Every structure is written in C-alpha cells, then in structure tokens.
Structure 1
Amino acid sequence: MSDIQNDSKKGKMPKSVPYIIGNEAAERFSFYGIRSIMSTFLVAQFFNPAANPALQNMAEARANELVHLFVTFAYFMPLVGGILADWFFGKYKVILYVSILYAIGNVVLALSTGNLSMFTVGLIVIAVAAGGIKSCVSANVGDQFDTSNQHLMSKVYGWFYFSINTGSVLSTLLIPIIYNKYGPELAFGIPGVLMCLATIIFWLGRKKYVRVPPTGIKKENFMGISAYAIKQLLSNRNGQTVWEAVGKKYSAEAIDGVQAVYRILMVFAFTPIFWALWDQNLSEWVLQATKLDRHLFGYELLPEQIQTFNPLFLVSMIPVCTYVIFPLVEKMGIKVTPLRKIGAGLFLTGVSFVIIALIQEGIDAGGKPTVWWQVLAYFILAVAEILVSITCLEYAYTQSPKSMKSTMSALYLLGISAGNLFVSLVNGSIADGGFFSKFTGASYFWLFIGILAAFFVLYLLMAKRLPEKSYVESAE
C-alpha cells in the first residue's frame, strides 16, 4: 500500500495497472471465446446432432434460449456483485474469490461437452461469476488513482478497454478454428486456461492494489428511498406531495439523486429492446451464417468468425463518429444531443435487422446469400451501438449526481439482462410450440423489427418531453 501511495505522490502510474489490464484481457478472451461457439455447439452437440432439417428450427430456438439466458444472468449479477463489493467485502475480495468460482465453472464446462445438464451448470456458474466481477473490475481501475496522478486515468482506461476488445477479437478468431479442427473439449478448455491465468494474474498483484474498504449498508440508497416513497404514496400525507413527505426522513440531496435516477430510467426504458436485438448478432446471426456463402476475398470464414466484425467495426468507428460525423452534423445546423443519438441508434438497429431479415428470406427460399450482406449489417449495428450504448453511459453520468452514478451503471446493465430475458422467453416459446412458434425463419427477425418499430415511435413521442438536468458542473 505504501508503495502505491509514494507512486501517487510522484504522479506516477500505479504499479497495479499491469495486473488489472492482464487480468481483464485474459478474462474477456475466456468469456467471448465461450460465447463465440456456444450457439453452433449447442445445436450440433445436443439439440440436433443428426442435422435433421425438420428439427433445425426447434434446435436453433432451444440453443438461442439457453444462450440468451446465459447473457441474462451475466448482466443481472453486476448489481449483486457491486452491492457485495461496496457494502460488505470490498472489490479485491469479490474479484478474487468470484474469479476462482469463474475458473471452476470453466473447468465444469470443458469437462461436460457430452452432458447437457452439467454443461448448463457450467454456463450458469460462469454467467453468475462473470457478472459478479463485471461492476467491480472497471471501478477497481479508478480506485488506483488519486489527485496527483488522475491525469493518467484516461490513458489507463484506454488500455483497459483496448484489452477488452483485444480479448474479444482474438478469441472470436481463434476459438472457432480450434473448435472446428480439434473439437469442443479443447475449444472450451482453452478459455478455462485463460480464466485460470486471469485469476493468477490478479492474485499476483495483491500487494500492489489500492483497496477501498466497504462502506457498509447505506441508509440513503435508491431502493430504500423508493420503497419509502411508495409507502408514502399509499398513505395519508395531510396534503403533502410524496417527495415532501419523503423529505422528512431523507436529505434533499438523496431525494434529488433518486429523482435523477427516475428521469434517466425514462430513457433507459428503451434500451432493453435495443439489447434484445443487438445480442442476437452473437447467437442468431451466427446460426444464420452457417447457411451463407462465407467467402471473403477468396477465403472462407467459419460461421463463428463473422461476429469478429462487431468489435473491429466498433473500435474503428468510434473516432470516426466522434471527430468526423458528429462535428459534420453540428455544422449542418443539427444539434447532436444524447437523446437524438439514442433515437438514431434505435433506427439504425432496425435497419441492420431489415438486412438480416432479407438475408433470411433468401435462405428460406432455398438460396445461399453472400456473407457480405451480413458484414454490412454488422457495420450498421456497430454504429448503432456507438449511438445507443456509449451515449447512454454518457447520459447516465451527466444526468445523475455523484451519489447515484454507480446505481445508474447497474440499472443500465439490468436493461441488457431484461432484453436478453425477453429473447430467451421468445425462443423458449418457439421451441415448445407456444405462442411465438409461428415466428421462424425470416418472420422471427421481422417480429423483432416490428417490436422495435413500436418502441421507436413511442421514443419519438416521449423524447421531447423528457426532462434533463446536468450535474457535470455542479459541486457534488
């Protein structure tokens, strides 16, 4: 600890940074490596091993159901992990012990490629663990800095997110090749080795970290104040408004924070449908790619490798949007506001899915469309992600006070969880012959386009009425 403090006084880079970056790169390789082959593996190994055309729709729906349920858990658990870290155990203990659980889940997965029940157990353990550390890892980066070296923080966060995308790109390129040539045991085993390595790297830096102690349970938290507000809403307030009654128990600052959360939630209410569609690029789109002509520049890609275009387009388009497109639109007299970015992102998401639906219509008609059309859809979806995801994070930061920024991050991730839960339920219904069973082939994608269109119209109607209050310049 003293070493870190001395380094901070000199304004030097914290010695803990390499361990954090190395841990994140290895963990993301593991997570995205598993996801890259999950859909195709589940169909081929468990749900339609005989490749019976009559069972293919049901098999793909069952695989998608499990994949999206996996993502649901992975993005619900950051809320739990954040509470455990902030209130009870601290970030270091949560990251270390949950990483060990994560590694165990990887071992179970690699050893259960012939047993669906145990394979599912491994997926659940990994999802719970990956989500459990997700909210802690990025916050742990910020904990390593103080006022003397905070000017280096943006550089480190740049390395941090570069490590995420590096892990993603490498795993989605390499793991499908290993799966295709050497089988699922090694393909799932290598991510397990990387997760064990990630845990060891993090443990090796144990004496280098600045450890922020847990604060204990906060009395003035979002859930507590909200519950009390509901209680006041249902009780006799003697002519007082709900928030006036709440103000007798809680501070004005705490109430303002809760009100800010509800204002932002009016925007975040539209993110689950975005993520319901976006996450299909790592599952439904991959299964679609198995039926495409995947030759690019004379080389035939594996279906699981096409998704690599997502992080590649994302990384390349962020500076283009930031330094070229947004300033150009501003010069045209159109103010680029967060709410307009989100609206444009929802629209482009729909455009990308129209392309996917049209591709699927070609497949349903007996054709074998070129994968170039799917690459175009990935490009449009990447721009949509920049407009929606990055903007939402920015919006949550600028529109919420300091006391509620962590809460907003957790609630944003819950939107990803909710969107994937909906997709999982739809696919479960299809596999079971339920209400959505008629939505297979191209009609499946048109269904989600229709749902998105309804949300988009609702968003346009509400966006102009959404109140905004910036906290960036306020003294918190």
Structure 2
Amino acid sequence: MSELVTNKFPKSIPFIIGNEAAERFSFYGMRSILATFLVAQFFNPTLNPALQTMAEAKANESTHFFVSLAYTLPFVGAIMADWFFGKYKVILYVSIIYCIGHLFLAVFDTNLQYFTYGLLLIAIGAGGIKSCVSANVGDQFTRSNQHLMSTIYGWFYFSINAGSVISTILIPWVYNKYGASWAFGIPGILMAIATIIFFLGRKMYIRIPPSGIKRNNFIWISFYALFHLGKKKKGESILDIAKAKFDAEKVEGIKAVYRVMAVFAFIPIFWAMWDQNLSEWVLQATKLDRHILGFELLPEQVQTVNPIFLLSMIPVFNYFIYPAFDKMGFKTTPLRRIGVGLLLTALSFVVIALIQQNIDAGGHPSVWWQIFAYFILSAAEVLVSITGLEYAYTQAPKSMKSTMSAIWLLTVAVGNIFTALVNSSISSGGFFSQLEGALYFWFFVGLMMAFFILYLFVSPRLKERAYIIEADEAEVLAETNNL
C-alpha cells in the first residue's frame, strides 16, 4: 500500500513530551542533591576532614548503586509491557509507585533505612516506565512520517533536559534554604503532575498490544540455535539454524537485535563516566572557586550547565552539524556519532583530572574549568545518548521495541555498577583505594581509550536495518481508549 509523506507530527507527542519533562524534573531534582545530602546527613554529619574521603566514596557508591538499580529494572518493565500489559498501562500504574517513593524521601530524610526504601520504590517506578517511554515515542510514527522521528527524538531529549535545567537550579536552592523535606517533596509533586499529563493523552496514543509469551521469540530462538549447533551448515550464522523451526523473518529480527547489542557493548563505559557528573563532579565542585558573573553557585547547581548546553546543542547538531557533514560526503551514521561521542567523553575527563591535580596540589581552581568539561561531556551525550535512543528503537523488530530500549537502559546500569564497585573498593580500603585524587579520573580516561580503540575495529563490521510500522498497521493497532 503506497503512503503519502506527511510533515504532521502525531497528536499524542505533546502529552508524551510534557510527561517526560515533568518526570525528568522529579528524577534529576532528587538526584541533584543526593550525593551531597548523603554525606552531610548520614556519612559525615560532623564534617570531620579525616572521614571526608571515605564518606564521599560511600555516597558515590550509594548513588551509583541506586542509578544502576533504576536502570536495571526497566528490563522487567519492558517484559511486562511487551508480553503482558502494553506500554500505556505499565507507564501509568507504575508511576504511582514512583510517587510513593518520592513521598518516602521527603518524610524520612533523617532515617537512612526508610530513606533507602524510598530510593528502592523510585527505582521500581523507573523500572516500570523508562524502557517504555522512549519506545512509546517511536510507536506513534509510521512510514508516512518516519522522517520526522530523528527530530522528535531530539525534542524528546530536549524535554528531558528542560526539566533537568529547572530542577537542578531550583532543588539545590530549596535544599540550602528550606531543608531536605521540601527539596525531596517538590520532585514528588512534579512526578504526580507527570502522571496526570500522561493520563490526559490516553485517547490519542497508538498502543502496540502486548504479544504474550510465545515460543517464537528472542529467548526461545536463541536457545534453540545454541543447543543445535551441530546442525549448522557452512556459510550460515548460528542463528540461521533456528530457521528450520521458527519463522525466518523473526530469526532475522533476532539477528538484528544481536547486532545492536554488539554496539551497546561499548556503551557502559560511557555511562560509568557520564553519571559521575552528578556525583563525583558535584563533590569536586565543593572544592572549587564557584564565583561566576557576580554570583556564587552552590556545588549542586554547577551541573545545571549540562542540560543547558544540551538544550543549545541539540538543534545545532540536528540542523547544522549533521547536515553539514552529510553535504561534505561524510555520512553521520549512528555508529560514527557514537564513536566520536566516546572520544569526547574521554576528553572531558582529561579536563576533570587536570582540575583535580590542581586541587591535590593545594589549588583552588575556578569553576569555569569544570564548566568547560561539562561542555565537552554534553557534546558527547548528544552523540551517544540521543543516537542510542533512536538506534535502540529503529534497529529492533516491532515485538521487541520496549525490550530493546530496556537493553539500552541496561548499559546505564552496568556502567553505574562498575563505578559503584570502584567506589566501594575505595571506601573499604580495597584494590581501587590506590586511585587517590586525580589518579581516579585518569584511570577512567585510560579505560575509555581502550574501549574506543576496540570500537574502531568492531563498528565498521556491523550492519544496520530499520524496523518501522506501516500506516495502515498503526490504524489497526490504535485502540479505542477507555480507562
């Protein structure tokens, strides 16, 4: 069936983007003060200089373990959405758990045990919706308007950082002025608003029905191929063995997923480093001269420049940089974007390591140097994270859109687990305790460069294939929405 190309965006998009902006305000607002709050409230409340290094390591460890859990559970949420309930119901109902988690943080800000329960509930809430939200954006498009998808994913990411900008300016100020209860309570209110916004758009969403548990899926096909290796013919891939029992097109889709996972294998190191700008970098900011343009920034407010830079860079990359390179004959493919992003991530940590060397030597460097590092890291994020969101959706078969997005989020979890383990080792005097001062950041620079070199060899050998639903199929999938 031929389709007319249209430049109209799906009507559901404003509700999805509005929901995401409010939800991200709640998450990043809470997280902006988490590391410094844990140090001041629980790990070193007396501000004993002898305990500060260990206290900071414990706070970093707790923060990264929380983030790793929040990005591991989306895999469970994706299975619930793809197999049983659909994305809409999972996002809506689990958002309530999210709100309860924020309530725990606000009420139990002096009780570490119950505060931790609140973090657990937020992680569960995030697990229910994170993998579904970005995939839900892609579900709203068909072949007639798929050319608008890159732009919308850019604006989707823009909404994330718009919420982040406001929250990382406001919440540290509220924390400093009115205390932890209000600072954690306001993000909870925004999470409730996010849930309401999403509910209001319920009649406009294209909803992909859950596929149910079927043997003709990723897990069954993979295991069948693995246990029948003896049937492999010359010239076949391992997964081609499964074509004797399963749908051939489905097998090709599974092969596409493994190609995506080959790319995603290089992403955890990016997140292991990126997420430090919301913990390690914030703690470094407490030791900087933070006077800027006649104002003194709070340590937690410095990170605000990251989403501000992103808000500026997204349209610049989408409308100027990418088209300019394309016109010059250097196609800015997703794999090339990710590679450059990995390199820029290493460069941002070079700047941070040099700042730390100055601090270790007794200096009091200007916060402008850290802002420069944020500028480089923000460019890396545009190249890696936005590209990854789109890549996760377009390269996965229809029945695995949410699952593929969950695998993308799992790279965040793996990266944060690694950073948490490094900090756990430091706080307990283990192997990584030798990474003192600037050496800690240089370690990550070296690790990233090793991954980058390996990526240069692997990425040219990977093939790509996009999976987009047809317009008439979307009409069938759109439900008469009653709740």
What is the TM-score when the length of structure 1 is the normalising length?
0.88
The number of aligned residues is 462
Aligned counterparts of 1:346 and 1:155: Cα–Cα separation in 2:
22
Hey, what does 1:7 align to over in structure 2? Answer: none
Structure 2 CA distance for partners of 1:49 and 1:405, relative to 1, 3 Å: same
| CA RMSD of superposed structures (Å) | 2.9
Structure 2 CA distance for partners of 1:427 and 1:154, relative to 1, 3 Å: closer
Aligned counterparts of 2:239 and 2:193: Cα–Cα separation in 1:
50
Give the residue type in structure 2 aligned to 1:68: H
Aligned counterparts of 2:233 and 2:207: Cα–Cα separation in 1:
48
| Aligned residues of 2:131 and 2:403 also touching (Cα < 8 A) | no
| Aligned residues of 2:426 and 2:432 also touching (Cα < 8 A) | yes
Which of 12, 22, 29 does residue 26 from structure 1 map onto?
Answer: 22
Which of 270, 284, 289 does residue 285 from structure 2 map onto?
Answer: 289
Deviation at 1:136, TM superposition (A): 2.3
1:470 aligned to 2:465? yes
Aligned counterparts of 1:200 and 1:60: Cα–Cα separation in 2:
37
Aligned counterparts of 2:140 and 2:334: Cα–Cα separation in 1:
30
User: Deviation digits for residues 57-111 of structure 1, max 9, x if unmatched?
Assistant: 1111111111111111111122211211222122232222211111111111111
Aligned counterparts of 1:203 and 1:469: Cα–Cα separation in 2:
35
User: Deviation digits for residues 167-218 of structure 1, max 9, x if unmatched?
Assistant: 1111001000000111111101111122223334444555665554423123
1:280 aligned to 2:276? yes
Aligned counterparts of 2:469 and 2:120: Cα–Cα separation in 1:
42
Hey, what does 1:80 align to over in structure 2? Answer: 76
1:105 aligned to 2:97? no
Hey, what does 2:192 align to over in structure 1? Answer: 196
| Aligned residues of 1:399 and 1:468 also touching (Cα < 8 A) | no
Aligned counterparts of 1:92 and 1:334: Cα–Cα separation in 2:
39
User: Deviation digits for residues 437-456 of structure 1, max 9, x if unmatched?
Assistant: 11121111111111112112
Deviation at 1:33, TM superposition (A): 0.5
What is the TM-score when the length of structure 2 is the normalising length?
0.87
Which of 212, 231, 239 does residue 237 from structure 1 map onto?
Answer: 231
Hey, what does 2:433 align to over in structure 1? Answer: 437
Structure 2 CA distance for partners of 1:344 and 1:13, relative to 1, 3 Å: closer
Hey, what does 1:165 align to over in structure 2? Answer: 161
Structure 2 CA distance for partners of 1:260 and 1:138, relative to 1, 3 Å: closer
| Aligned residues of 1:111 and 1:185 also touching (Cα < 8 A) | yes
SS across alignment from 1:369: coil
Give the residue type in structure 2 aligned to 1:304: E
Give the residue type in structure 2 aligned to 1:293: D
Give the residue type in structure 2 aligned to 1:416: V
Give the residue type in structure 1 aligned to 2:34: M
| Aligned residues of 1:98 and 1:129 also touching (Cα < 8 A) | yes
1:69 aligned to 2:65? yes
Structure 1, 189-198 or 306-315: larger mean CA deviation: 189-198
Structure 2 CA distance for partners of 1:355 and 1:13, relative to 1, 3 Å: closer
Consecutive unaligned residues in structure 2, runs of 5 or more: 1-7, 474-483
Hey, what does 1:5 align to over in structure 2? Answer: none
Structure 1, 222-231 or 104-113: larger mean CA deviation: 222-231
| Aligned residues of 1:35 and 1:282 also touching (Cα < 8 A) | yes
Hey, what does 2:133 align to over in structure 1? Answer: 137
Which of 246, 252, 270 does residue 250 from structure 1 map onto?
Answer: 246
Counterpart mapping for 1:73-472 below 5 A: 73-141=69-137, 160-204=156-200, 211-233=207-229, 236-237=230-231, 242-329=238-325, 334-397=330-393, 399-464=395-460, 466-471=461-466
Consecutive unaligned residues in structure 1, runs of 5 or more: 1-10
Aligned counterparts of 1:458 and 1:114: Cα–Cα separation in 2:
46
Structure 1, 179-188 or 310-319: larger mean CA deviation: 310-319
| Aligned residues of 1:257 and 1:403 also touching (Cα < 8 A) | no
Aligned counterparts of 2:142 and 2:468: Cα–Cα separation in 1:
20
Structure 2 CA distance for partners of 1:13 and 1:326, relative to 1, 3 Å: closer
Deviation at 1:118, TM superposition (A): 1.2
Deviation at 1:219, TM superposition (A): 2.6
| Aligned residues of 2:290 and 2:297 also touching (Cα < 8 A) | yes
Aligned counterparts of 1:343 and 1:299: Cα–Cα separation in 2:
37
Aligned counterparts of 1:454 and 1:170: Cα–Cα separation in 2:
36
User: Deviation digits for residues 3-47 of structure 1, max 9, x if unmatched?
Assistant: xxxxxxxx8964x66654443332211111001100111111111
SS across alignment from 1:437: helix
| Aligned residues of 1:293 and 1:368 also touching (Cα < 8 A) | yes
**Percentage of pairs with the same residue:** 65
SS across alignment from 1:247: helix
| Aligned residues of 2:306 and 2:375 also touching (Cα < 8 A) | yes
| Aligned residues of 2:135 and 2:401 also touching (Cα < 8 A) | no
Aligned counterparts of 2:346 and 2:263: Cα–Cα separation in 1:
18
